[in-house]
Structure 1
C-alpha cells in the first residue's frame, strides 16, 4: 500500500467510526425516549383515573331534570348519574345559576340548597348508579322561570376528598355534552 491508499483507507475507517458513533447516539436516545414513555404511561393513566372527573365532569357524571313550575302537582327533580367505576360520596350539593364571561364566573346565585349541616354525611353514589334530588314539592314548588340570557343552571356538589366543587350543567343542555 502506498501513502495515498493508506490515507484513503484511514479516512474511510474514520467515517465508518463516526457513523457508528452517530448511530449509537441515535439508538440510545430512542431507547431513552421509549423507557420514559414506558415509565410515564402508567403514571398518566393513574392520574387520569384519579383526576379525570375534575377535568371533564360531563363525561364522569350525567344529569336529567323534570321541572314543573306554577301548578306544583308534581315534584321537580334532578337526577345525577355516576358514570365512573368507583363509588363516590357526595357531602354537599346545591343548585346555582352561573353566568360566564369569557373564562370566569361573573355571577353566582344559589337557587336551592339542602337544609343539612356540613357535619352530616351525604350519600354515596354507587358505580354506574344514580341519585335523585327533589328540588321542589307540592307546597313549595321550584319556580325556575326562564333562563336569563348568558346563564345556565348547574348542580354543584362536593365529593369527599376534593376541595373544590364539581359543577355539572343541568339546563340548558348544549350539543357538546
Structure 2
C-alpha cells in the first residue's frame, strides 16, 4: 500500500529510475527537478552523493536550514510503495508574494510511469494533516490553467477555486475540521 515517507537514501535506485522516466518522457515534474539535476545530478549515482542530496532536502524544512535563495522552509515527503518511489509532495511552511500568486503551499509530482492511478490525489489527501501540524488551517494549491489532471486532483482534495493569476488557477483547501 503506497504511503508518504520522509526522503530516504535507501530509495536511490527507484528515485533515479523515476528521474530517467521523466527525462525520457520529456517531462520535468517541475522546475524543482531541473534545479536538482543541475545541482545534485552528477552525484546521484553514488550512494554517498545521493545521501548528501537527501540530507539537503530534509534540511530545507528547518527554519535555519540551507535552501536555495528566496525559498521558504518546506517539508518534503516521498510517496512510495515498499521500495518503489512513485512521487513526491512538498509543504511550504509559509507563502511569499510569488508563492501566493503562482506556487502555493503545496507542490507535487508523480513519476511518468505511475500517473493516472490516483497517486496524486492520495498524496494530497495524506499530506493535509502534516500541513495542519505546521499550523496551516488552509493551504493554497495552484496548477496551470491547462493542467486538467492537476485541477481534478485539487478539486478532489477539497480545493475551493479562488481565481486565476498569470496562467495559474488558485485553490484553497482546509487542512482539517
Q: What is the TM-score when the length of structure 2 is the normalising length?
A: 0.22
Q: As a proportion of its length, which structure holds more strand?
A: 1
Q: What is the TM-score when the length of structure 1 is the normalising length?
A: 0.22
Q: Which has the higher contact order (CA 8 A, sep 6+)?
A: 1
